[in-house]
Structure 1
Amino acid sequence: MNYQEISKESIGLLYQSHQQIRKSEIDIRLIVLAELYVSQMNGCAYCCSFHSNELRELGITQSIIDKIPGWKYTNAFDHKEKLVLQWAAAITRMTGDFEELKTQLLLSFSEKELVDLTASISLMNALNRLRITLGDIH
């Protein structure tokens, strides 16, 4: 189903939000890292491919991309990247101590960066679900 064409205005606004978040103060690589991990957790093949390509274009090596699912068990990611991945997992799975994690995040990110990161993760969950349930599988 071509849901983007069927509901141009509503879906278009979601994609406009996605583009606006990418203009945030937060490092775009962190946003895309979160988007890929969310897409991996949700099983959205299209989005996994799309965001993997984006990370490669941003200079992230395939070796690092391959380690994202096992981020807890590698030193391949720095402190901020691990915080982003942990936050993405907590929001996507709706588990964990949100208050404690927010406190940790605010030691490394501004409030605006945290809001933009959270919006990005939340929006990616919505876009994954649209693609998986209504999108064409290719």
Structure 2
Amino acid sequence: MNYVEISKEAVGHLYQSHRSLRKSVLDIKLIMLAELRVSQLNGCAYCCGFHAAELRESGISQALLDVLPGWKLSAAFDAKQRLVLQWAESVTLLQNDIPDHLEQLKVLFSSEELVDLTTSISLMSALNRLRITLADKETI
């Protein structure tokens, strides 16, 4: 089903929000890293491929992408990346440790960066779910 065409206004606003986050004060590579991790957690194959390619085009190495699913056990990620990945998992899975992670994020990120990051993570979950549930299976 072409849900973008069927509901141009509603779905279009979601994609417009996604595009607007590309102008965030937060490092775009951190947003893209969070989006890929969210897509992995939600199991959206299309989104995983899209965001991995986007990260490679931005200069992120394939070696880093290869270890992303095991980021907690990898020394390949810096402190900011680790916090972003931890936050992506907490928000996507709605874990009980959100207050603790939020306080850690406030040390390294401004309020605007934190809101943009959280919006990006939440929006990516919504876009993943739209694609997984409504897209034609050959495009997933």
Letter in 2 for 1:74: S
Residue 122 of structure 1 and its aligned partner are, at CA, apart by: 0.1
Q: Give the distance between the partners of 2:97 and 2:57, measured in 1 at CA.
A: 34
**1:32 maps to what in 2?**
32
Q: Deviations over 1:21-55 (max 9, x none)?
A: 11100000000000000000000000000000000
**What is the percentage of aligned positions where both structures have the same residue?**
62
Size of the aligned set, in residue pairs, is 138
Alpha-carbon shift at residue 136 of structure 1 (Å): 1.5
How much does 1:100 deviate? 1.3
Cα deviation, 1:53-87, whole Å, max 9, x if unaligned, reads: 00000001111001111000010000000000000
The reply on whether 1:104 has 2:107 as its aligned counterpart is: no
Structure 2 equivalent of residue 10 of structure 1: 10
2:137 corresponds in structure 1 to: 137
2:113 matched to which residue of 1?
113
Offset at 1:104?
A: 0.4
In structure 1, list runs of 5 or more residues that go unmatched. Answer: none
Query: Residue 25 of structure 2 aligns to a residue in which SS?
Result: coil
Partner of 1:49: 49
Q: Does 1:22 align with 2:16?
A: no
Q: Distance in 2 between matches of 1:89 and 1:96?
A: 11
User: TM-score, length-normalised on structure 1?
Assistant: 0.98
SS, match of residue 59 in structure 1: coil
The alignment's C-alpha RMSD in Å is 0.6
Tell me the distance in 2 between the aligned counterparts of 1:43 and 1:107.
31
Matching residue's letter, 2:39: S
* 4+ residue runs over 3 A deviation: none
- 1:93 maps to 93
For 2:16, give the aligned amino acid.
Q
Structure 2 gap segments, 5+ residues each: none
Letter of the structure 2 residue corresponding to residue 30 of structure 1: L
1:123 corresponds to which residue? 123
- Comparing 22-31 with 91-100, greater Cα deviation is found at 91-100
Q: CA deviation at 1:4?
A: 0.3
Structure 1 or 2: more helix by fraction: 2
